[in-house]
Structure 1
Amino acid sequence: MSALQETGATPVIGAACQEALARAKAAVTRRTLSPVAAFVGAALAFVGVTFAAGAPSPLFVLYQQEWGFPAWVLTIAFAIYAITLLVTLLIAGSLSDHIGRRPVLIGALALEVVSMLIFLFAQDIGWIIVARAIQGVATGAATGTFTAAIVELAPEKHKKLGAVIGGTAPVGGLALGALITGAAVQFTAVPTVIVFSFLAIVFTLGIIVIALSAETVSRRAGAVRSLIPRLSIPRGARAEFGAIVPVLIGTWMLAGLFLGLAPSIIRGVFHIDSGLVNGAIVALQPAAGAVAGFLLGRVHARTATIWGSASVVVGIIVSVSAIAFGVLPLLFVGAVLGGAGFGAAFSGSLRILAPLAPAHQRAELFAGVYLVSYLAYGVPALIVGELIGVVGLLDTVIGYGSAAAVATAVGLAVQLRRAHVVRAARRTTGALRAVAPAE
Structure 2
Amino acid sequence: MPSPEAPSALNSRNTLPIAACMLALFTTILASHMPTPLYAVWQQSWGFSATALTAVFSVYVLGVVITLLTLGSLSDQLGRRQVLVPGLLFILSGSIIFMLAGDIYELALARLLTGIGTGMVTGAATAAVVELEPDGNWARGAILTALAFTLGAATGPTVSSLMLRWTDHGDVWPFLVAVALCITTLIMLISAPWPAHLGQRQQGFRLRAWRPTPIKVPRALLGIFLFAAAAISLAWSTGSLYSSLGPTLARELIGIDDLAMAGLFAAAWQLVAGLSQFAAQRQPLNRLIIAGPLLLITGLLALGGAVWQASVWLFIAATLITGMAAGAIGVVATVSIARAAPPAERGATTSAFYLAAYLTMATVVLSIGFASDQIGLVNSMLGFIGLICCAALSIMLLRHRLQP
**TM exceeds 0.5?**
yes
Matching residue's letter, 1:136: G
SS in 2 for 1:34: helix
Deviation at 1:369, TM superposition (A): 2.9
Long gaps (5+) in structure 2: 1-8
Distance (whole Å) between structure 1 residues aligned to residue 87 and residue 351 of structure 2: 15
SS in 2 for 1:202: helix
Give the TM-score normalised by structure 1.
Answer: 0.78
Long gaps (5+) in structure 1: 1-29, 424-439
Of 153, 162, 165, 1:183 maps to: 162
> Compared with structure 1, are the counterparts of its residues 296 and 274 closer, same or farther at alpha carbon in structure 2 (3 Å cutoff)?
same
| Structure 2 residue aligned with 1:4 | none
| Structure 2 residue aligned with 1:252 | 236
1:371 and 2:350 are equivalent in the alignment: no
Distance (whole Å) between structure 2 residues aligned to residue 314 and residue 34 of structure 1: 48
Deviation at 1:143, TM superposition (A): 2.9
> Compared with structure 1, are the counterparts of its residues 227 and 279 closer, same or farther at alpha carbon in structure 2 (3 Å cutoff)?
farther
Deviation at 1:393, TM superposition (A): 0.8
| Structure 2 residue aligned with 1:89 | 68
Distance (whole Å) between structure 1 residues aligned to residue 68 and residue 86 of structure 2: 14
Distance (whole Å) between structure 2 residues aligned to residue 295 and residue 252 of structure 1: 18
> Compared with structure 1, are the counterparts of its residues 231 and 222 closer, same or farther at alpha carbon in structure 2 (3 Å cutoff)?
farther
Distance (whole Å) between structure 2 residues aligned to residue 151 and residue 309 of structure 1: 31
| Structure 1 residue aligned with 2:175 | 196
After superposition, what is the alpha-carbon deviation per residue over 1:316-337, rounded to whole angstroms, capped at 9, x for unaligned?
2222232223222111111111
Of 382, 385, 393, 1:398 maps to: 382
1:409 and 2:388 are equivalent in the alignment: no
Distance (whole Å) between structure 1 residues aligned to residue 396 and residue 130 of structure 2: 26
Q: How does 1:419-430 map to 2 (within 5 A)?
A: 419=402, 422=403
Distance (whole Å) between structure 1 residues aligned to residue 128 and residue 294 of structure 2: 30
- The 8 Å contact of residues 277 and 327 in structure 2, kept in 1 or not, is answered as yes
Distance (whole Å) between structure 2 residues aligned to residue 283 and residue 56 of structure 1: 11
- The 8 Å contact of residues 11 and 134 in structure 2, kept in 1 or not, is answered as no
Of 310, 316, 320, 2:294 maps to: 310
| Structure 1 residue aligned with 2:100 | 121
- The 8 Å contact of residues 74 and 212 in structure 2, kept in 1 or not, is answered as no
SS in 2 for 1:191: coil
Distance (whole Å) between structure 2 residues aligned to residue 303 and residue 157 of structure 1: 30
Deviation at 1:407, TM superposition (A): 2.2
Matching residue's letter, 1:219: Q
Q: How does 1:276-295 map to 2 (within 5 A)?
A: 276-295=260-279
Give me the identity figure in percent: 25
SS in 2 for 1:219: coil
- The 8 Å contact of residues 130 and 136 in structure 2, kept in 1 or not, is answered as no
- The 8 Å contact of residues 73 and 212 in structure 2, kept in 1 or not, is answered as no
After superposition, what is the alpha-carbon deviation per residue over 1:329-351, rounded to whole angstroms, capped at 9, x for unaligned?
11111111111121232244334
Q: How does 1:53-64 map to 2 (within 5 A)?
A: 53-64=32-43
| Structure 2 residue aligned with 1:9 | none
Distance (whole Å) between structure 2 residues aligned to residue 233 and residue 93 of structure 1: 16
- The 8 Å contact of residues 269 and 394 in structure 1, kept in 2 or not, is answered as yes
- The 8 Å contact of residues 28 and 152 in structure 2, kept in 1 or not, is answered as yes
> Compared with structure 1, are the counterparts of its residues 207 and 408 closer, same or farther at alpha carbon in structure 2 (3 Å cutoff)?
farther
Of 249, 271, 279, 1:265 maps to: 249
| Structure 2 residue aligned with 1:437 | none
1:131 and 2:115 are equivalent in the alignment: no
Distance (whole Å) between structure 2 residues aligned to residue 248 and residue 147 of structure 1: 19
Deviation at 1:232, TM superposition (A): 2.3
More displaced 10-residue stretch of structure 1: 80-89 or 219-228: 219-228
- The 8 Å contact of residues 179 and 279 in structure 1, kept in 2 or not, is answered as yes
> Compared with structure 1, are the counterparts of its residues 74 and 360 closer, same or farther at alpha carbon in structure 2 (3 Å cutoff)?
same
- The 8 Å contact of residues 247 and 309 in structure 1, kept in 2 or not, is answered as no
| Structure 1 residue aligned with 2:83 | 104
After superposition, what is the alpha-carbon deviation per residue over 1:374-421, rounded to whole angstroms, capped at 9, x for unaligned?
22222111111111111111110111122222223323333x3134xx
Matching residue's letter, 1:396: S
1:418 and 2:397 are equivalent in the alignment: no
Distance (whole Å) between structure 2 residues aligned to residue 33 and residue 206 of structure 1: 19
- The 8 Å contact of residues 120 and 197 in structure 1, kept in 2 or not, is answered as yes
Of 176, 184, 191, 1:205 maps to: 184
Q: How does 1:6-155 map to 2 (within 5 A)?
A: 34-155=13-134
| Structure 1 residue aligned with 2:202 | 219
Deviation at 1:250, TM superposition (A): 0.8
Deviation at 1:240, TM superposition (A): 3.8
- The 8 Å contact of residues 31 and 156 in structure 2, kept in 1 or not, is answered as yes
Deviation at 1:245, TM superposition (A): 1.1
Give the TM-score normalised by structure 2.
Answer: 0.85
1:163 and 2:163 are equivalent in the alignment: no
SS in 2 for 1:180: helix
Deviation at 1:288, TM superposition (A): 0.3
Distance (whole Å) between structure 1 residues aligned to residue 382 and residue 294 of structure 2: 19
| Structure 1 residue aligned with 2:3 | none
More displaced 10-residue stretch of structure 1: 67-76 or 43-52: 67-76
- The 8 Å contact of residues 75 and 124 in structure 2, kept in 1 or not, is answered as yes
Deviation at 1:194, TM superposition (A): 2.3
Of 329, 341, 351, 1:345 maps to: 329
Matching residue's letter, 2:100: F
| Structure 1 residue aligned with 2:6 | none
Distance (whole Å) between structure 1 residues aligned to residue 70 and residue 364 of structure 2: 22
More displaced 10-residue stretch of structure 1: 194-203 or 217-226: 217-226
